Amino acid sequence: MSDSPQTPAGPGGPLVARLRNVTHRYGAVAALGAVDLDLPAGCVVGFIGPDGVGKSSLLGLLAGARALQDGSVTVLAGDMADAGHRRAVCPRIAYMPQGLGQNLYAMLSVFENIDFFGRLFGHARAERDARIEELLQATGLAAFADRPAGKLSGGMKQKLGLCCALIHDPDLLILDEPTTGIDPLSRRQFWELIARIRSRRPNMSVLVATAYMDEAERFDWLVAMNAGQVLASGTPAGVRSQAGAPTLEAAFIALLPEVQRAGHHVLVVPPRPPQHAEIAIEANALTRRFDGFTAVDGVSFRIERGEIFGFLGSNGCGKTTTMKMLTGLLEATAGSAALFGRPIDARDLETRKRVGYMSQSFSLYGELTVRQNLELHARLFHLPPGAIPARVQELLQQFGLEAQVDAYPDSLPLGLRQRLSLAVAVIHRPEVLILDEPTSGVDPIARDGFWELMIGLSRHDGVTIFISTHFMNEAARCDRISLMDAGRVLASGTPAALSAASAGGTLEAAFIEHLEQAGGALVDTATPAQIATPIVVRPAVPPRRFSLQRMASYAHRESLELLRDPIRLVFALIGTLLLMFILGYGISMDVKDLPFAVLDGDQSSESRDYLSNFEGSRYFVVRPPLASQAELDHRLRTGELSLAIEIPPGFGRDLKRGARPAVGVWIDGAMPFRGETILGYVQGAHFTYLAGLAGTAGAGAVEVAVRYRYNQDVSSLDAMVPAVIPLLLIFIPAMLTALGVVREKELGSIVNLYVTPVTRLEFLLGKQLPYATLAMLNFVCLVLLAVFIFGVPLKGSLLVLTAGALLYVIAGTGLGLLISAVTRTQIAALFFAGVATMVPAIMFSGMTHPISSLEGGAALAGRLYPTTWFLLISRGTFSKALGFADLYPYFLPLVAFPLVVTTLCVLLLKKQGK
Amino acid sequence: MRRLHNIWHLGIKELRSLTRDPILMFLIVWAFSVGVYLAATGVSMELRNAPIAVADEDQSVLSQRIINAFYGPYFRTPDLIALDEIDRGMDGGRYTFVLDIPSGFGADVLAGRRPTLQVNVDATQMSHAFIGSSYISNIVNGEVEEYLRHSRGATPLPVDLVTRMHFNPNLTSSWFSAVMEIINNITMLSMVLAGAALIREREHGTIEHLLVMPLTPIEIMAAKIWANGLVVLVTAALSLQFVVKGLLGVPIAGSLPLFLFGTAIYLFSATSLGILLATVARSMPQFGLLLIMVLLPLQILSGASTPRESMPIIVQNIMQLAPTTHFVSLAQAILYRAAGLEVVWPQMLATTAIGVVFFTGAWVRFRKAITTQQG
């Protein structure tokens, strides 16, 4: 930078990084092709180039976030392919990935996010507080210290990301498009902040990718890239002279190959023909409040058909909220808005067809290819089927997406994703386009391409365009613009008029002046003097292999997220208790109240005598008698009867004659266990009858007294509660942790595992700890409920039970993490957790069927599964008063299980991305 | 027409998303093949190798006969233990059953004094406890009867009992567990897929995109229902045909098409419930917990694992509101008892009605849930 204390280093100076023959591929696509590059130390090195040329891949490799595939990368005098070196230098490198707040935690506040990183890098509390205070002051985030990161605007997220990157005083700062989507004022503050930090730490090297040529102009050293290759590198002046162009932008275009350069020319906005007078968009005192604060405060405007209307403003000033109200996504708290004279109604499908909307964050389907996304939207907007292929082809061409047509958006760089979003927004040729920062992160040539297209839409087709942007040259192309701050419009007019009215004479000056006049909270108040707090410079020691503090910092963060989500906490606690009630009362292996009916062909006193044994039993319930064999068949088939008894004609007579009549019994065997039990009852009743007959020898000669131990009335809670506790203690903890890792993978914060000193084991244990604690809390509640509410006596040792439970919840949460480590989406993890807990715990663990009777794979699963063993401990202590001496064999598997699972987890989890 | 068109294309999108998740696809296939196989062959509800001991204080011919009457596959060979070992043996879980034959038992029987033989049962081994104790009673009675006939030349039993098991003559438990496992999988998978797909759209912001297009929440929901329902339906049908009928050799008594029709109705209910839960939960972790809280009672109390009629009346009544209960009884009727439409239409009607309630609930909550989550 021009104000940097350091003179730009030349090729002869010390190097911060060196790449030799580096190639990187994603599947068949090569992102980098045999790159050789030397990067000078102690200065700001900028990477410029169109979207998708490999800038992010290169920075990821330098940061160690991506695994090196081919070639060699030397950073801070060591080989990045060597895990030992990576571990040693990672505290000296800070990496901020592309995208808004990718590596931040949305539920945590601004302060807590920075604090988390501070803890990861092992700072003591006082030091952390001092550093955070300084960073918050310097970035103007101090006023928002308590706001959750998820509720910050895009620009504020970027600042927060920077704070998190800077907390540990890195020697190498790697920023991937840090100022994309940030308003000019914040951008200026951002670079001032970097400059101040560099003035204090002159040896720090900064590597930045940027889409802003004005920023690049002020860097010390530039690397211009295209198509996975380095086109040129050197000082900005050097690059300019190499290309023989007056400006960097022109130089960059000149450096591109012929094909890409072709068709690029300086953009001219033709004046708008004056005949349109119809009002396309109108807002009257539009206001939106979110609990506590007003995001949009009495905003009014009228936009004519065919007009390009720009919205400028600092981050978080309410632009996005205004746009969402215009699309009907949000309802206005007060005021009104209308499209084509019709008030906005979220249910009005006809109006929606006339509007194209592009949201700020990418919101297309990552699991569909570029073509599939376009086709889906074309179909949903009811383009004639025959016209779709042509329209899709046309857009692919216009937006330069032809090469990526079968790629998945997730694998595309930001700029290309933005293009796709814009293509989707215009696919149905809407009359109104509402575009929320459509060109953020898009390279200059493509941006001009967009504008050319939009100007064509506006001037030729009369499309009204409502756009927000942070690029001043784009704002200058609008017919009218509004400057917004803190939910209010500060000024409106043509760009020319606004520039003329400002002291600086430019649009940027006008913007900054208006904002400073408004005295918004975002304005940076820190002066360099204030941030001169001396900070202990720690010697660069390689981090230890296992650090309790790093583990604790993950545990702390995870607990905060859990505590921030009271619903989850309440579900986990109350839900378990509720389930215990339901299952404790509901599960019963007791077979009783069996409906039966009789086909009595005899109707004699003897037959009635025989049947009285069934009718009087608590196991059977009499239904209306049967008239025929067909009826017997039918009623069994409908499931109305579980049992049918047929007494043959002449039963009484035969009995008296000693002719051995036979009673027929039909049993519904659909549920074998029940059928078996019914059979037993029937035989019992039959014997009882025989015993009552005079002159019978055998039957009734013995009384068999069955004594059910541990549970006199068998179906009661006493038996169920000790079995339900192990069930609940596996489902909920496993479900809670199953999303732990995969959620970070899906939402992007997994990158913190890649680039911070935290090890896989620390990461996993840190995630496990809070949930294991929660599960133990659950356990305590369950035991209290069992003993004091259900009155189930705990006969054995509470200590033994608790020790078993502790091991068991560690096993359960570990199982969840393992599931999380192997899956890629949260959906898969949910289903996996369901499959991996429900079946083995309910069926194979011995809850209803003893494991001695299991066979094959189920028997193996049952023996390996922790529920089996904790179930024995739980029943042993609750019902049988057993102590540790009797139960210790069951503890061994419970100790082994977590060890195996955690080892597997560590092996399966990757410490670097692809 | 236009609606159907939207629903169709949105559904195709759902199917494409699913194919992009190979791990999920693998899990689905696993659950419906290996999972079903394991559950069917592994768990036998019959009495098998039950550990038994006898404390024989009598040491008579009769007591010896009784001891010899216990053998495989139902029982292990009985251990002979002393009276004071009973408690220890049972507490340690070594024996599920212990017979106590009192001294003088044989003589008392011969004298017609009706002595008492005590059977101690470990009631924590629930399924074995019941079946086993009635087996034991019958075995003991049988032995005594035979013994008396020999020694006294008594007359044979005056009445014969002829029992026939309908629908599953040998009471093979794999017939039951295989189908019930499929039902459990259907329930879990349909709720996870439909509900989580909605949450995913919300977390990735894509739902916003749908809501600015000319689409109604009903169309978005209907697309999720048909696409995810179809996946589950096809997998379940394949599993029934190839794993249950083919591999396990379970005879399907009734009409498979009728069962699949019933399944389709149930899937409407279950996916709607999944979506409803997704509109209640604000994030995937919350959804996961809700899922467990709903799935567990559905699986355990619907009659798919234990008989419904022995549950407390209040539980039975509450479970009438769950579509799973009706589906389980429909499945049992069609698949085991070969029931036709004339028998199962009430279950179909109930399942549909419950589904409509869930769907309406989800629809009412839909827009509100989407916009509040964004905050």
Q: Is A666 helix (H, G, I), strand (E, B) or coil?
A: strand
The stretch A300-304 carries a mean pLDDT of 89
Identify the pLDDT of residue A536.
Answer: 45
Dump pLDDT digits (tens) for A713-735: 555 677 788 888 999 999 889 99
Identify the pLDDT of residue A838.
Answer: 85
Rounded (5°) CA angle A369-A375-A376: 90
Cα distance between residue A169 and residue A200, in whole Å:
10
Dump pLDDT digits (tens) for B56-110: 999 998 899 999 988 878 888 899 999 888 888 887 777 889 999 999 898 888 8
The stretch B339-352 carries a mean pLDDT of 92
In this prediction, residue A858 has a pLDDT band, given cuts at 50, 70 and 90, of: confident
| Fold assignment, A594-692 | abc type-2 transporter like fold (3.40.1710)
Chain A residues with CB under 8 Å of B198 CB are none
Identify the pLDDT of residue B353.
Answer: 96
Cβ–Cβ below 8 Å for A861 and B155 = no
* Whether A311 contacts A481, CB under 8 Å: yes
Cβ–Cβ below 8 Å for A683 and B138 = yes
Cα distance between residue A257 and residue A272, in whole Å:
35
Identify the pLDDT of residue A525.
Answer: 42
* Whether A38 contacts A72, CB under 8 Å: no
Chain A residues with CB under 8 Å of B141 CB are 687, 698-699, 702, 704
Dump pLDDT digits (tens) for A485-508: 888 888 888 888 988 888 888 888
Dump pLDDT digits (tens) for A194-232: 888 888 888 889 999 988 888 888 899 999 888 888 888
Chain A residues with CB under 8 Å of B102 CB are none
In this prediction, residue A657 has a pLDDT band, given cuts at 50, 70 and 90, of: confident
Q: Which residues share a beta bridge with A294?
A: A289
Please tell me the distance in Å from A657's CA to the nearest CA on chain B: 10
Distances (CA, A) of B102 to A415, B147, B149: 89, 17, 22
Determine the residue among B159, B179, B210 to mutate to test chain A binding: the one whose Cβ has the most chain A Cβ atoms within 10 Å. B159
Of residues A667 and A443, which shows the higher confidence score? A667
> Per-domain residue ranges for chain A?
15-261, 552-584+715-908, 594-692
Owner of token pair 């620009």: A155
Chain A's closest residue to B316, CA to CA, is A586
Distances (CA, A) of A767 to A65, A643, A814, B124: 21, 54, 10, 36
In this prediction, residue A527 has a pLDDT band, given cuts at 50, 70 and 90, of: very low
Q: pTM of the prediction?
A: 0.86
Identify the pLDDT of residue B45.
Answer: 67
Report CA A340 to chain centroid distance, whole Å: 39
Identify the pLDDT of residue A777.
Answer: 93
Please tell me the distance in Å from A144's CA to the nearest CA on chain B: 16
Q: Is A105 helix (H, G, I), strand (E, B) or coil?
A: coil
Chain B residues with CB under 8 Å of A697 CB are 145, 148-149, 152, 154-155
Cα distance between residue A656 and residue A650, in whole Å:
10
The stretch A309-334 carries a mean pLDDT of 85
> Per-domain residue ranges for chain B?
2-43+171-374, 52-152
The stretch A579-590 carries a mean pLDDT of 79
* Whether A717 contacts A792, CB under 8 Å: yes
With a cut of 90, say whether residue B240 has pLDDT above it: yes
With a cut of 50, say whether residue A524 has pLDDT above it: no
The conformation of residue A591, written as its DSSP 8-state character, comes to -
With a cut of 90, say whether residue A775 has pLDDT above it: yes
Identify the pLDDT of residue A87.
Answer: 86
With a cut of 90, say whether residue B266 has pLDDT above it: yes
Cα distance between residue B261 and residue B240, in whole Å:
14
Cα distance between residue A900 and residue B268, in whole Å:
41
Identify the pLDDT of residue B299.
Answer: 85
Identify the pLDDT of residue A522.
Answer: 44
The stretch A378-385 carries a mean pLDDT of 90
Cβ–Cβ below 8 Å for B161 and A663 = yes
The conformation of residue A599, written as its DSSP 8-state character, comes to E
Dump pLDDT digits (tens) for A832-844: 998 898 888 888 8
Identify the pLDDT of residue A167.
Answer: 86
User: Given phi > 0 = left and psi -120 to 50 = alpha, else beta, which region is A400?
Assistant: left
Of residues B15 and A566, which shows the higher confidence score? B15
Identify the pLDDT of residue B153.
Answer: 57
Of residues B242 and B299, which shows the higher confidence score? B242
Please tell me the distance in Å from A651's CA to the nearest CA on chain B: 9
* Whether A49 contacts A225, CB under 8 Å: yes
With a cut of 60, say whether residue B288 has pLDDT above it: yes
Cβ–Cβ below 8 Å for A856 and B332 = no
Please tell me the distance in Å from B42's CA to the nearest CA on chain A: 4
The stretch B274-300 carries a mean pLDDT of 89
Both structure tokens of A94: 């800070």
User: Given phi > 0 = left and psi -120 to 50 = alpha, else beta, which region is A21?
Assistant: left
The stretch A631-657 carries a mean pLDDT of 88
The stretch A108-134 carries a mean pLDDT of 89
* Whether A871 contacts A723, CB under 8 Å: yes
**Domain A15-261 annotated CATH 3.40.50.300:** yes
Element (H, E) at A396: helix A388-398
Q: How many residues does chain B have?
A: 375
Chain B's closest residue to A321, CA to CA, is B375
The stretch A353-373 carries a mean pLDDT of 87
With a cut of 70, say whether residue B331 has pLDDT above it: yes
CB neighbour class for A627 (10 Å; exposed up to 12, middle 13-18, buried from 19): exposed
| Fold assignment, B52-152 | abc type-2 transporter like fold (3.40.1710)
Amino acid making up residue A672 = P
The conformation of residue B185, written as its DSSP 8-state character, comes to H
Identify the pLDDT of residue A711.
Answer: 62
pLDDT averaged over every residue in chain B: 87
Q: Order across the sheet with A70-75: list the strands.
A: A29-40, A15-26, A70-75
